[in-house]
């Protein structure tokens, strides 16, 4: 059995770290970041929709809090499903 709170917090902290690294990457190397993430999006051209303006502090804060919250909930759902599938089995 997985401890739901431990899994949730672990995932939230990991994704928050990635969010901060991504924001720093975009801040320091905006063109390279757009090129890199274009390779993930199967035909969506981020260069065409990029604003070219840096994210405001409020937008960064809201993004950081929301990515943490969504990741925490995702971890709880994952742990719940894992534990439900493992009932009756010796994992």
First to last CA, the chain: 8
Is pLDDT above 60 for 91?
no
Write down the pLDDT at residue 6: 97
| Residue 87 in this model has a pLDDT that exceeds 60 | yes
Q: Is residue 91 assigned to a domain? A: no
Question: For the whole model, what pTM was predicted?
Answer: 0.82
**Spatial separation of the C-alpha atoms in residues 51 and 60, rounded to whole Å:** 15
Work out the mean pLDDT of the chain and round it to a whole number. 91
- Domain assignment present for residue 22? The answer is yes
**Structural domain boundaries enclosing 70:** 4-86
Percent helix, strand and coil across the chain, each to the nearest 5:
75, 0, 25
The number of distinct structural domains making up the chain is 1
**Given a cut of 70, is residue 89 above it in pLDDT?**
no
- For residue 15, being part of any structural domain is answered with yes
């Amino acid at each position: 059995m997985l401890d739901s709170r431990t899994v949730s917090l672990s995932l939230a902290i990991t994704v928050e770290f990635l969010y901060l690294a991504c924001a720093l990457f975009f801040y320091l190397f905006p063109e390279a970041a757009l090129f890199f993430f274009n390779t993930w999006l199967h035909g969506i051209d981020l260069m065409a929709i990029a604003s070219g303006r840096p994210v405001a502090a409020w937008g960064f804060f809201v993004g950081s809090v929301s990515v943490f919250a969504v990741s925490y909930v995702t971890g709880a759902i994952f742990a719940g499903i894992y534990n439900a599938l493992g009932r009756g089995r010796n994992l």
